[in-house]
Amino acid sequence: MMLGERAVEYVLVRRRGRRGVGFKVDAGGLTVSAPVSMPLSRIEALARDSERWIVRKLGEWSGKRVPVIEWRDGAELPYLGGKLELRIREGTRNAIELGERELRATLRDPAPESIRHAVVAWYKRAALAHLAGRTMTLSRIAGLTPPRFFLSSALSRWGSCNARREVRLAWRLVKARPALIDYVICHELAHLRHMNHSRAFWTEVERQCPAYRELRDELLATDHLYRDF
């Protein structure tokens, strides 16, 4: 749609039971959430009413450049809020392990794409262990029956929860510092009691994670740093 003199691509998500129109701008661009029956012309008219905010947010995100990883020995990788130095050597079989501030990879083929494939596979294993463990721990602290847990490869959202009591977390979240990870988990666990974003939902988030406002703002400001691969 046209916002001023600018053509803006957007994703439209229609939700049953939704009354108003919501706008979200992140690394993936503009997402518009709207009721199922609302005409597209009305949705875009409301977007134009919020034109200044949308254009400003799109401009802010365009300035957030995602770091480029060079898949070679000595590369720095984000992990749990810190940095790991990638150490590469050739060997007769593929193996990768976490050392003290290092990620050591032995590869038959140390080409960049092979390195990337091995590192991403390791991240997913590490994410499954850490994220699933924290989800179980935090759900018990909150007095909840632990939900079923799944990893996600989503880029536009860090977590989700559905009515089947399934929590999904993006594996890339394991790059963030632990407090940010816990905030995302508490956000999804709060949906086990309130499958919406009502006042009661945010009260539950605050009960589980008292500093959620500061952590939410930090994640919004830095989450592009965790999408580098």
Question: Each residue of 84-95: pLDDT tens digit?
Answer: 999 999 999 999
Residue 59 confidence (pLDDT): 84
Prediction pTM value: 0.74
Would residue 68 count as lying in a domain? no
Is pLDDT of 67 > 80? Answer: no
Mean pLDDT of 194-199: 93
Is pLDDT of 62 > 90? Answer: no
- Which residue is it, tokens 């590490």? 126
Query: Could you tell me what percent of the chain has a pLDDT over 70?
Result: 97
d(CA 8, CA 52): 13
Question: Each residue of 129-172: pLDDT tens digit?
Answer: 999 999 999 999 999 999 999 999 988 789 999 999 999 999 99
- Tell me: do 127 and 40 sit in the same domain: no
- Tell me: do 135 and 52 sit in the same domain: no
Q: In what order do the strands lie in the sheet with 22-26?
A: 10-15, 29-35, 22-26
- Tell me: do 31 and 144 sit in the same domain: no
Domain hosting 137: range is 76-226
Q: Which of 207, 197, 81, 215 is nearest to 138 (CA)?
A: 207
Would residue 67 count as lying in a domain? no
Is pLDDT of 218 > 70? Answer: yes
Residue 187 confidence (pLDDT): 97
The mean predicted confidence, pLDDT, of the chain is: 92
- Tell me: do 81 and 181 sit in the same domain: yes
Mean pLDDT of 52-64: 83
Number of domains in the chain: 2
d(CA 35, CA 43): 9
